[in-house]
Amino acid sequence: MLAVAVVGGTGYTGVELLRLLVAHPQVDLKYITSRSESGKQVADMFPNLRGFTDICFSEPALETLAECDIVFFATPNGTAMKMVPELVARGARVIDLAADFRLKDAEVWKHWYGMEHACADVLAEAVYGLPEMNRASIKSARVVANPGCYPTAVTLGFLPLVENALIDDQHLIADAKSGVSGAGRGASVATLQAESAENFKPYAVNGHRHLPEIRQTLASVASHEVGLTFVPHLVPMIRGIEASLYATLKSDVTAEDLHKLYVDRYADEPFVDVLPEGTMPETRTVKGANNCRISVFIPQQGDTVVVSSVIDNLVKGAAGQAIQNMNIMFGFDESTGLNQVALLP
């Protein structure tokens, strides 16, 4: 059994991580930390966990966290990087669900997140935790940077096309939509029901923090910088991301060719489902599950390829992917604890 700690267990990502961890057969959940809620039973804050854990929130202390085999950080950006070097030095392994270790360039990180990076040496060794790309490196990693939700949906959608140099990768477009849980649990006028219900809007069009992460990941595949326009939108639902991806084809291929390319690329991936030709992905088909569902189209037999990619932003976009990474790191079957069927309706 793995001794596991979760630092920052009071947000939506944190409670989703706890929901999955308490049902994982190889996990012994030792600590769930929160400075503001220390001493309070976790199930009192999250009644869905009643009967599954009687653990209380505690203060985050290096001495106790270092006793664990793995520590998950479900904390705001800039928190994990202050504790991870010492935890790693003491033998713990870490999965950070925030952005502290996603960008390899500390100056780029500073530009997008507005603070100096606290441990550039650990940043250099951290592995980007997208299993469909980096499974071998994840297995031996001490620090895994869990990908962002938008980057997961966008990267998995574009990946086969970029890997095979089939598209003009200087003019990629990602038109993505997310439910309000992606904004976090903190109080915000923009996510009040009266503001977000019956409404649909773009945001951060001039630059979203996930933009450099997506560019960095796709550039590592293409072996050169890529051009990407990324426009996120807020839609009036709680969970889910749909990413509509557009690119210009460089070669004469058919929709059937591309469908086969995607089927072959993801044939051995337990959590990527390439849908039958002509099938439209729906966010409700992945709600609560660690799946990414993808369809690929060539509208009007032209030179534009359209890919639709859907995930649950809290599962494959966060907590589920983190557990998938843990399973890889410790040699468990990758699907352990992650075989939930999506919720319908």
pLDDT digits (tens, 9 = 90+) for 141-193: 999 999 999 999 999 999 999 999 999 999 999 999 999 998 888 768 878 88
> Which domains, from first to last, does the chain contain?
2-125 (3.40.50.720), 150-313 (3.30.360.10)
* Whole-number pLDDT of residue 194: 86
- Is 68 marked active-site? no
**Residues of the chain scoring pLDDT < 50:** none
User: What's the whole-model pTM score?
Assistant: 0.96
Q: Which of 56, 68, 119, 149 is catalytic?
A: 149
Residues across the chain: 345
Gap between the Cα atoms of 331 and 328, Å rounded: 5
* Whole-number pLDDT of residue 242: 98
